[in-house]
Amino acid sequence: MPKTAKTLSGTKPESRAAEALPLRHVAIIMDGNRRWADQRGLPRLVGHREGVKALKETVKHATTQKLEYLTVYAFSSENWHRSHDEIDYLMKLFNEVLSHELEELAKGGARLRFIGDLSGMPTQLQFKLAAAMTKTQENSGLKLQVALNYGSRLEITQAIKEIVNQVKAGKITEQAITPELVQNHLFTAGIPDPELMIRTGGEMRLSNYLLWQSAYTELYITPVLWPDFSPKEFDEAIKEFTLRKRRYGGD
């Protein structure tokens, strides 16, 4: 399947000094866990566990490559429509990963941030998510954002409500509403837009993920299912990115 790029409208990312990678922020739609299991005649839940292994290797590799920001789509606001058994397993898996992997992640210098409507997650998990963010907040290595109960339309709608309330309260004027103000009310406030979005599994859609933030993001679609995604695949995506000419609406 050919790799696909589309250029949309948005904000030009900040400039930076030359480093190991030609970009600051990579976003990933980790798709294909269930299909990976189906192809092997395994329970679909096994695919999710293998997907965690792929994520761990990707985080390690991104850290080695000195990537600044990595944002991954772990659980969408639409995923609640899946079976009760699958949702229950995923919540337990999130808890397990935090219990077993947080210490290593923290020692590696990563700073964790969970984005999305976290109030919709199970109470015990909410406490663990908050504790993980607190534990790693002073780290200066890879900034790892994990999207949980995330939906971009929900995110934008919530931002609009917050801004409207500020106008009603007289804290800001209508004229003060700018794209920068809107961006500061998103779940990703303070994080630069991703220059590259990788989608595994071959599907050609954004799936309600980082719609505002991906205005000028280069898209890289690979047929490789997420559990099979490797550092080599990551490097191939970066290599493809370097071949793109990013015009931001210009010539």
Write out the two tokens for 184.
Answer: 């500061």
Residue type, 240: E
Query: 66 near 20, Cβ under 8 Å?
Result: yes
User: What whole-number distance in Å separates Cα of residue 189 and Cα of residue 93?
Assistant: 27
CA–CA distances in Å: residue 54 to residues 51, 129, 226? 5, 21, 7
Q: Contact 195/19 with Cβ under 8 angstroms? A: no
Q: Where do runs of H (alpha helix) occur along 108-206?
A: 123-136, 152-168, 179-183
Please give the helix or strand (H or E) that residue 111 lies within, else none.
strand 111-115
Bridge partners, 72 (sequence order): 28, 146
SS3 48: helix
How far CA 138 is from CA of 58, 141, 250, in Å, comes to 22, 9, 39
N-terminal to C-terminal alpha carbon distance within the chain: 28
Residues recognised as catalytic: 31, 79
CA distance 80 to 78: 5
Consecutive H or E run containing 92:
helix 84-107
